[in-house]
Chain A
Amino acid sequence: MSTRRDFLASSTLLGFGATVPGFLGRTALAAPAVGKAGAKDTILVVVQLTGGNDGLNTVIPFKDADYAKYRPTIGVKKNEVKKVDDSIGLHPAMADLAGLLEDQALCVVQGVGYPNPSQSHFRSMDVWQAASTAETVNEGWLGKALKQKELPGFHLSSGGNEVSPLALVGAPARVPSVTSIEDFQLKTTAADAADKTRQKKLIEAAANGTASGSAQPNGANLLDFVQRTALNTYASSQRLQEVAKNYQPKSPYPGTALANRLKLAAQLIDAGTGARLFYVSLDGFDTHAGQGGANGTHANLLREVSGAIAAFYKDLAARGHKDRVCVMTFSEFGRRAKENGSNGTDHGSAAPMFLVGGRVTSGVVGSHPSLSKLEDGNLVHAIDFRRVYAAVLDQWLGVDAKAVLGSSFEPVKVFKNS
């Protein structure tokens, strides 16, 4: 395995001066070697479940009579759930994730949400990604964190239609989206090596042009934004081409899109790129109709999430990164307690979050939202999601949470010894 020092030493693209991309930031140079005792070299992987995940069929209060009453067709039977304790259990499709309880590596935070929840996908997703309920939001919580501290990171895009999330907006240098290492390169048709160099120099020079301002794409500096994005991309691309292409996982990954992207994260971590932040999304959770119960559409989605995260954790654990990694899931809202007439569920509010890693508090945090005290048919949140973010920012990334979140939120105890 190459170390990040080898990696940086082998890099050839120098001389960007003040515009050095975040990917190559000072932290990468200064970061302690992996595995060194006391190295505060933590990694955060955010997994976004897009569309509003049905929390009630994810973390199931199997003993509650109201659950069966509200979910006559899509409810999961008591004997099918993967029990977490004597009152709640995970959906049966999440066996892999439930298995991490034995490793003390799974934390389930129950009843997470925010006051006056919006049931618009887009508004609510903005609230979660910006960590703000302000009417207009332009920056993401991770983007703001990156202003405080350079944490090299990647948005692991599924390609196609997926764009970089609001959560990452606001960072001093745009966090690059990567679909695969092989695709992440600038091609040329050149007569010889010198010709190739001349072409690349021209392309890079145009990107370097007058770039001076911020990475924020507003108004007059739109060209500036294109240039900085290009500059960061070309530099990152050159580095990535130096990363080993044949990655052998220590633990098998399922053949799903999410698993492939988490495998890419493992590859980037293992190659010593210094990357500490990853963002990945899985769409399809907007199950208004034909959601299914123990099997079906929603079960398949949960299986993909559970299988991918468990494989990723096991792969990294086998490489000695168990205590460096924290995977966190969220969705913009949960769904209505009572199923609708289409064997699906309409938009709701509070839902659970998962955190996975060697240092998370194992087991359940918070209590399941009451099914007898609904608000407009929706579960009521007990934990503000920003309290989870506060723990992640302060205790995991070492970033001042108050500066990012705008006010003090009491961190939820999601990490051991915290």
Chain B
Amino acid sequence: MTTAWDAYRPTADNPWTLQKVGHLYRRAAFGATWAELQQGLKDGPEKTIDRLLRGGPAAPDFERTSDFMAAERSLPAGTAGTQLAAWWLARILHTPHPLREKLALFWHNHFATSLAKVRNARFMLEQYRLVYRHALGDFRQLLQEMSIDPAMMVWLDTTESVKGKPNENYARELMELFSLGIGNYTEKDIREAAKAFTGYDIQKGKGHFEASKHDDGTKSVLGKTGNWKAEDVVSICIDQPACPRFIARKLYRFLVSDTEAPPAELINSLADQYRASGFDTAKLVETILRSDHFFGPAAYRRKVKGPVDFAVGIVRGLEGNVGPLPLAQSLENLGQRLFEPPSVKGWDGGPAWLNGQTLLFRQNLALAITGTEDSRFGRRADPVAVLAKHGCKSDTEAAEFFLGLFLQNDVPPETRSRLLSYLDDARAAKFPVYWTPEDVANHRLRTAAHLTLTLPEFQLD
């Protein structure tokens, strides 16, 4: 019997195409370069997915440089969110293992902790390291460590919760947002669980258990009664059947489709596997990425690009090297301040990313990155240079290149002809007298890149 999660095998009817490579790189990375698209097309799904799962080859200086930039001297506790976001974006732009960064982004959104309340960049950085460490690892371990993670303890008031005066904030979100989902616990479970989280505070930058402030009485949580501490309640939550389903459903939304709820049987089969594997997130991700379902119509263009994906996809596609700080600043307008999600629920994502204002900011950011007028980005992601590098000379070649690179040519024929007409008609413009013929040619090509990026199809993942 075959199921939707069986691996995709190319056939004559359902061949391996440039669209599929582009789709894979949008979901399992932050978009592809021209070379990655060509290589993926040549290698086929198995080998390409292997490479994304494994990551690498690592540039020798990557982690060292990143650690150096994260030293307390560079990022002290009082660092602003934009600076911290820039540090992460630099990793995302240059990482040898984009899938792992992508999953770190998933877990950041899952545990949605904000610097706005934590007010300590060192704590936020440590929480990033925690999610990165377990991004493709053991969810049980991640959830246990998260419960005594300093940033989380400030964010959801665990540090304020002491015997006799429990604060319910963490207990509630642990069940509602981190492990079970609404409907799988009662208000009583929350009040009881809150007692187990009393007596934890932060000492020397680490979560610390203070027995004298802990309520060591009996608690009854989700039908289990005992003298529970924090780690016991976390384990009780993980043991609920709702837990693997909850995480599988959320990961499905992240990797497959954020517009349609999947049928229960699809999720149940992922959840069973997740539990059986001991909550091995890498295996769960691998099953999804290799599947027939992932390469089918239920997934293709069924997500709205997130701001990080939008911006990084452009820069990576153009093989540019823009400064991460202006990029982080731009993302704030697009609705995604890394390290400062809007609430503990994280970013809603999906269609909510686009609201008119954010759409305009996206189009204007694409212009700033591809154009010459915005000094923040300069010409460090230059469409003209990329065209030259890949040997595109004529107008037709330029249009084909951008449509191929960013949309794998999957646009209506009218769009292609409009783009070609623009390149042709633009020759007739009254250019400023001081523009050289090269300026004129470059203007047309840069505009063709920008126009490609404004197409509605490019908003979809």
User: Is B126 engaged at the interface, CB distance under 8 Å to the other chain?
Assistant: no
Cβ–Cβ contact A162 & B335, under 8 A: yes
B340 cross-chain contacts in A, Cβ below 8 A = 160-161
Cβ–Cβ contact B160 & A342, under 8 A: yes
Highest count of chain B CB atoms <10 Å: which of A122, A206, A218, A288: A206
Shortest B162–chain A CB gap in Å is 6
Cβ–Cβ contact A206 & B454, under 8 A: yes
Q: Cα distance A155–B450 when bound, in Å?
A: 28
Cβ–Cβ contact A185 & B335, under 8 A: no
Cβ–Cβ contact B160 & A186, under 8 A: no
Segment with Cβ contacts to A, from B127-135, B201-209, B351-359, B382-390: B351-359
Range of interface residues on chain B? 35 or more
Q: Cα distance A121–B341 when bound, in Å?
A: 15
Cβ–Cβ contact B351 & A184, under 8 A: no
User: Is B343 engaged at the interface, CB distance under 8 Å to the other chain?
Assistant: yes
Report which of A184, A192, A229, A376 forms a contact with B431, defined as CB distance below 8 A: A192
Q: Cα distance A218–B447 when bound, in Å?
A: 32
Report which of B353, B450, B456, B460 forms a contact with A163, defined as CB distance below 8 A: B353
Q: Cα distance A164–B353 when bound, in Å?
A: 9
User: Is A233 engaged at the interface, CB distance under 8 Å to the other chain?
Assistant: yes
Report which of B187, B430, B451 forms a contact with A192, defined as CB distance below 8 A: B430
Cβ–Cβ contact A346 & B169, under 8 A: yes
Given A186-B360, A340-B165 in contact, is the A191-B431 Cβ separation under 8 Å? yes
Cβ–Cβ contact B259 & A222, under 8 A: yes
Contact with B along A199-242 (1 / 0, CB 8 A): 10011011101100000011100110111011011001100000
Segment with Cβ contacts to A, from B37-45, B60-68, B279-287, B421-429: B421-429
Q: Cα distance A116–B351 when bound, in Å?
A: 30
For residue A194, which residue of chain B has the nearest CB? Answer: B429
Cβ–Cβ contact B168 & A346, under 8 A: yes
User: Is A178 engaged at the interface, CB distance under 8 Å to the other chain?
Assistant: yes
For residue A177, which residue of chain B has the nearest CB? Answer: B355
Cβ–Cβ contact B355 & A340, under 8 A: no
User: Is A119 engaged at the interface, CB distance under 8 Å to the other chain?
Assistant: yes
Shortest A219–chain B CB gap in Å is 5
B364 cross-chain contacts in A, Cβ below 8 A = 186-187
Q: Cα distance A161–B361 when bound, in Å?
A: 13
For residue B333, which residue of chain A has the nearest CB? Answer: A159
Report which of B156, B333, B460 forms a contact with A226, defined as CB distance below 8 A: B460
User: Is B57 engaged at the interface, CB distance under 8 Å to the other chain?
Assistant: no
User: Is A289 engaged at the interface, CB distance under 8 Å to the other chain?
Assistant: yes
Q: What would 4 more interface pairs be, CB under 8 Å, given A179-B357, A206-B418, A346-B168?
A: A160-B332, A202-B422, A223-B460, A237-B360
- In the assembled complex, 15 residue pairs joining A and B whose CB atoms fall closer than 8 Å, in A order, are A159-B333, A161-B342, A177-B358, A189-B367, A194-B430, A198-B422, A207-B456, A222-B304, A226-B354, A288-B168, A340-B168, A342-B167, A344-B157, A344-B167, A346-B169
List chain B positions with a Cβ less than 8 A from chain A: 156-157, 160-162, 164-169, 172, 176-177, 182, 187, 259-260, 301-302, 304, 332-333, 335-337, 340-345, 347-348, 350-361, 363-364, 367, 371-373, 412, 414-415, 418-419, 422, 425-426, 428-432, 435, 440, 443, 446-447, 450-451, 454-457, 459-460
